[in-house]
Chain A
Amino acid sequence: MNAITTRPWPAFLLRKAAELLLAMVALVVITFAIAHLIPGDAARVVAGVDATAEQVEDTRARLGLDRPLAAQFWDYLSGVLTADLGESFRTGQPVSEVIANRLPFTASIALFGIALTLGVSLALGLAVAGLTRGNRNPWLDSAFGWATGVVLALPVYVIGAVLIVVFAVNWGVLPAAGADSLYSYVLPTIAIALGPIASMSRLVRREAAVVLEQDYMRTARGRRISTFRQYAKHAVPNLLASTLTLSGLILAGMIGGAIIIESVFAWPGLGRAVVDSIIERDYPMTRGIILTVGAVAVALNTAIDIILALVDPRTLRAGKVLA
């Protein structure tokens, strides 16, 4: 037996740290390249359509865009290492300040979205699996498959628009857009969570169907343990690994996918800010936001891997074998 086999945790964490570092290096390089690959002259856009040639050149010099690309990259890299993401070309505001103001909005609907997804899909998937166990209620199985299929086929902006028309415009019970009040969170959260609820409840239903047929579940039923305790104590823990894996991916996707939802609901998060920054050729803002979102996604995936290893040590061993 070698050290890795006997002490799998240090090796696992070391590998995860190396992956994290590699991903961050790639992110820094890619975000710098992406901003400069956007066609068009940033100095012209920032100076304004009516700017004279002289004003455009002044702007180029002021923004440092007349310097060699390597020098610009070095500035960017040095800034990232000292947590200075630069200043917005457009407003002069520090990018980190903009991100600090907007990230909570994006994070809050993503976190509410994942909480709603986990709660609803676990309950729904388990309920459907329980009610259709042993080929009972086949109509429910079909209806569940059909309904989740329809939701999955709907783009998030269609779901958002339908929610707005029904709940805001027709019934007037919730705000159509903005982030002015507590109620503003309801529709964006539901819109962002419906699709993931459909996909995760399908997964839970499939996994639960297998779990419910296991001997230990039969034994639990035979001992007349309450249904709630059967599910809570025996079924749910066995579903955790697959739901956690999927929820990590969904959460990262929600933060990235917030761009569409934020446009539909005029939500003041990072998604809308990055779209605006690309249109306005605000390189520091584009780079800063994509870097932040990317870093959050990478960190989340790493955290999920670690939690999975804690919950299910087989993952840890699989990691060692794969490594």
Chain B
Amino acid sequence: MLGQGRGRAVSAALCAGALLLSGCTTGGEGADWETIRGAWIEDPTTFDPALTQTTDDYRAARLAFDTVVRRDLDGELVPGLAESWEQSADRVTLTIGAGHTCADGTEITPTVVAESLEYLADPDTKSLHTSGVFGEGEAAITADDDAGEVAIELSEPHSEVLPGLAIPQAGVICPAGLADPEGLAAGEVEGAFSGPYVLTENRRGVNYHFALREDYDSWVEYSEPLEGTPAKYLEFIVGAEDAVANQLLSGELDVAPVEAEELSRFADDGGFGTTTATTGEYYIMFNHRESSPFRDEGLRRAVARLIDREALREIVDPEGELIATLGDDTMQCANTDESLLLDQDGDAASDALDGVPVKVVGSDAIGPNGSATVYVRERLNAAGADADLQNTDVGSWVARLYDEPETWDVTVYATVNNMGTISWGLTTVLGEWHEDGGRNMTHSVNPEAAEALEAALSAESDAEMCRHWDTAQRAALETVDFIPLSMVTQSIVSRDGYAVEVPGGREDATTLRILD
């Protein structure tokens, strides 16, 4: 396929010196039906699941580390390394299944699992995911190898331990990895891996190779068995975000995430299929501080009446489903009642917003070239407000939201919701303020919603949790503490002969398959 005639001659001449300079290899080999070739945005920052921070960190962690629970295709929790579990508000007991092993053959016992979870819960680990998994209090983790159980006791109730344990960041690290944290982070300790694949080659900036463990037999039993067979080898090239569509079309890649604006290139080509994963939620976030006009509920309501959510969804993510809270209907307790959202009424909005100075801030990553906030500014100005827009790169924008609250009034925000729960997004707009150790960036003051949120996170049962979440969501939507827009999606294009699933809507490379 690659390198015919003159192309080979020219490239051979060009590469004579390159071999000396950069050690490039020969060939341009195509698909071998044992390997799936994919793409990552950038190099993983770490192979230590507890210390992961970026999307590609999570992708690598999912491949190399199994979790105690997993998500079924519909989002329900299903057994992973744990074959069953019991949960109360402040205690989770996991029964670890038999026959699971690490890549070096070490048996994955309750003690192995407990040590890994202790590492995640330890404040000295400085994991960003500890509170998401175990809540704000301390977690005491004990193992009983005879009973095959791991017990997690929480000093403060937290109802989302199990969803937290399903995320790749909670992947079980085998003893060899815990004994060598630096090697673990570099991906150099093969015995650290508990998942189906081991990292075999790491060429930073170029590509990463994984191999399927021959002894691995801990595949998730989904409610519908996956079609096809797992690849023996996985190869991920790095940094090809802008080039991925070309590489799929030219046959260099088999399965890869593709930007929404590139999807039309595959629409008329019968040789590809598309799977859509969700990664978070888009919403309009208000600054509720004294410095902002949107401390006033009336002005927030005016914006809600002004914004056409359907139009804004088309801008931010045409593939995303409109939502009525910060999550979709696959998430437990998510509100789906759109009547809680205000209908459009431009005249009423104009009456309220006329002459109001508004500082709109945004990121050039939300909508093409930051067009989401351009839309918001234009709608505000059309309604008579005096809206000023500052769009910057993600780093400057986030720093402004957190550290310069007096410089913004409204933005279009997006979560990266790895937990797959409504609490992940809702806690950014409700409850304890960021300055006080919480995640609420907006300084919202809504005692009813905040109280219900606390109650939901410490509920004893699913029914009780959903009842409290319902109260919290209603209270927040009625006072327009935020305006939900749509799910953030990631389209994954696969060449004919390859498939990938998205359990619970989430990308999961362990579901990559070569079809028979």
Contact = CB atoms under 8 A, between A and B. Distances in A.
Interface in B23-77: 23-29, 42-43, 45-46, 53
A266 B243 contact: yes
Interface in B232-250: 237-243, 246-247, 249-250
A221 to B, nearest CB: 33
B223 interface: no
Interface string A182-210: 11111001000000000000000000000
Interface in B432-477: 434-435, 437, 439
Nearest to B2: A183
Contacts of A287: none
B396 A39 contact: yes
Contacts of A288: none
B416 A49 contact: yes
- Interface-central residue, A47, A93, A173, by most chain B CB under 10 Å: A173
Given A172-B1, A172-B251, A98 B246 contact: no
Contacts of A272: 205, 239
Contact of B395 (A56, A174, A281): A281
A17 to B, nearest CB: 28
Contacts of A44: 395, 398-399, 402-403
A93 B46 CA distance: 10
Nearest to B207: A180
A290 interface: no
Given A180-B25, A186-B14, A189-B14, A50 B4 contact: no
Contacts of B4: 173
B184 to A, nearest CB: 13
Interface string B126-142: 10100110000000000
A71 B370 CA distance: 37
Contacts of B131: 52
A167 B242 CA distance: 17
B24 A91 contact: no
Interface string B367-410: 00000000000000000000000001111111110110000000
B147 interface: no
A110 B379 CA distance: 48
Nearest to B1: A172
A172 B21 CA distance: 27
A273 to B, nearest CB: 7
Given A49-B416, A50-B128, A53-B435, A181 B17 contact: no
A45 B45 contact: no
A316 B505 CA distance: 70
Contacts of A101: 204-205
B442 to A, nearest CB: 14
A183 B28 contact: yes
A92 B204 CA distance: 13
A124 interface: no
A117 to B, nearest CB: 13
A45 B53 CA distance: 11
Given A164-B246, A182-B18, A266 B395 contact: no
A92 B398 CA distance: 22
Nearest to A178: B237
Contacts of A55: 126, 128
Given A175-B2, A266-B237, A183 B11 contact: yes
A185 B28 CA distance: 12
B252 A178 contact: yes
A303 interface: no
Contact of B246 (A91, A176, A279): A176
Contacts of B394: 45, 279
Consensus secondary structure, chain A interface: helix
A266 B250 contact: no
B45 A91 contact: yes
A178 B247 contact: yes
B206 A268 contact: yes
A173 B2 contact: yes
Given A104-B22, A108-B21, A181-B24, A41 B399 contact: yes
Given A52-B437, A108-B22, A185 B240 contact: no
Contacts of A176: 243, 246-247, 249-250, 252
B250 A185 contact: no
Contacts of A175: 2, 28, 247, 250, 252
Contact of B249 (A93, A169, A281): A169
A112 interface: yes
B15 interface: yes
A179 interface: yes
Interface string A279-306: 1110000000000000000000000000
A272 B439 CA distance: 33
Contact of A91 (B23, B46, B128, B247): B46
A254 to B, nearest CB: 14
Contacts of B128: 47-48, 50-51, 55
Contacts of A53: 402, 434-435, 437
Contacts of A165: 246
Contacts of A42: 395
Contacts of A263: 242
A68 to B, nearest CB: 19
Contacts of B251: 172
A64 interface: no
Nearest to A92: B185
Given A49-B416, A54-B437, A183-B3, A169 B246 contact: yes
B3 A174 contact: yes
A105 interface: yes
A58 interface: yes
Interface string A32-66: 00000011111011011111111110100000000
Given A164-B246, A169-B249, A276-B42, A182 B26 contact: yes
B12 interface: yes
A241 interface: no
A174 B7 contact: yes
Contacts of A172: 1-2, 250-251
A38 B395 CA distance: 10
Contacts of B399: 39-41, 44-45
Nearest to A177: B243
Contacts of B18: 108, 112, 182, 185
Contact of B239 (A56, A91, A266): A266
26 contacts: A39-B392, A39-B396, A44-B403, A50-B439, A51-B128, A52-B437, A53-B434, A91-B45, A91-B46, A164-B243, A175-B247, A175-B250, A175-B252, A176-B252, A177-B247, A178-B243, A178-B247, A181-B27, A182-B11, A182-B28, A183-B2, A183-B28, A184-B24, A185-B11, A272-B205, A280-B395
Given A181-B28, A182-B12, A186-B11, 9 more contacts: A39-B392, A44-B399, A44-B402, A52-B437, A56-B402, A176-B249, A177-B237, A177-B252, A180-B206
Interface of B: 1-4, 7-8, 10-12, 14-15, 17-19, 21-29, 42-43, 45-46, 53, 126, 128, 131-132, 185, 204-207, 237-243, 246-247, 249-252, 392-400, 402-403, 416, 434-435, 437, 439
Q: Can you list the 4 inter-chain pairs with the closest CB atoms, starting with the nearest?
A: A177-B243, A268-B205, A266-B240, A40-B396
